Structures are given as C-alpha cells and as structure tokens.
Amino acid sequence: MDPARFDAAVEADEFLEWAEFGSDRYGTPHPAPPPGCDILLEIDVQGARQVRRRHPEALLLFLEAPSDRDQAHRLRGRGDSEDHVRTRLSYGASERETARELGAVVVVNADLAETVAAMGRIIADHRERLAAAGSPSGPSAAPPYPGRASGGGGSGAAR
C-alpha cells in the first residue's frame, strides 16, 4: 500500500491497529471472526496498546527470547541485517516495560513446544474466565497469572 493510501486508511479508522517501525508501517484491518472464535495477532507493543484501548478485555501475550543474545541469534537466523538486529535489540527494554504496563502476560520463548503449550494454557484460562463472567468479551481485568510463563519474542493479542 502506498504511503498516501496508508495515511487515508489510518484516518478512516480502517485498521484495528497499526504501527511504524523504522521506515516501515504495518496495519491490521478490523477482523470479523465467526462467533466464538479467537483472534490471534502477531503485533508489536504499539499495536497492542491500540488493541488494549479498543478491546480492554483482550488477552495480551508478550513473547520474549530468553536473552538479548538469543534474540540477536534468532534475528540473524531469519536473515535480518546487523542494523535491524541492533535496532530491534535497542527497543527491547522499552517494549518489555510497555508490555507490562499494558498488563500483558510475558512468555519466555526458550523452547517452541513449551511456549506453544504455555500459550494454549493461558488462552484456555482466559476463555474460561470470560465464560464465567457470562460474556464472550468478559470484563476488563488483568489476567491472574504470575506475569511470566515459561515457554519462545513479540507480542500478540487474543480475544
């Protein structure tokens, strides 16, 4: 999408969330899932902040690598340039802080299978809490998790 069209889409509120990273911009159109289905987004904390504002009941998960060294290794492994690796790592601390401010559940992605299992448990618990509240959207409340779960980095939202 060219920059003028993207700006127009932002102005027309066509995105559930959108973010800018470096010279790139990303946006998620408003989803229309079937009733009873979750929405899972792979977004950064800029987008998570917008989702939280629009959907206070959303479950936010923040995935992080076990260490900056692991994160750098993963970024290089997917072909990111050294400049991009340095930029991503420089944002790490502020992104972790923002995730905590948003009430995100932090999941450390040390092992993919464990991470997927931990996320599945967290999402299932959230669904049960919403159902117990008698609403598919449920109340706006921070999840009753210890704040960290073991498991593989980025943020996401499910509702």
Give the pLDDT confidence of 1-46 residue by residue, as tens digits: 899 999 999 999 999 999 988 788 999 999 988 888 888 999 989 9
Q: Could you identify the residue written with the tokens 């905590």?
A: 100
Judged against a pLDDT cut of 90, whether residue 144 lies above it is answered with no
Which of 136, 117, 156 has the alpha carbon at shortest distance from 37? 136
pLDDT number for residue 154: 47
pLDDT number for residue 151: 43
Average pLDDT of span 104-133 = 94
Strands 148-150, 105-108: parallel, antiparallel or unpaired by DSSP? parallel
Domains located in the chain, CATH noted:
37-158 (3.40.50.300)
Q: How far is CA 54 from CA 47, 51, 149, in A?
A: 11, 5, 25
Q: How far is CA 123 from CA 24, 39, 94, 128, 145, in A?
A: 30, 11, 25, 9, 11
Average pLDDT of span 110-136 = 91
| In the chain, alpha helices (H) | 3-11, 45-54, 68-77, 82-101, 112-132
87-115, pLDDT tens digit by residue? 999 999 999 999 999 999 999 999 999 99
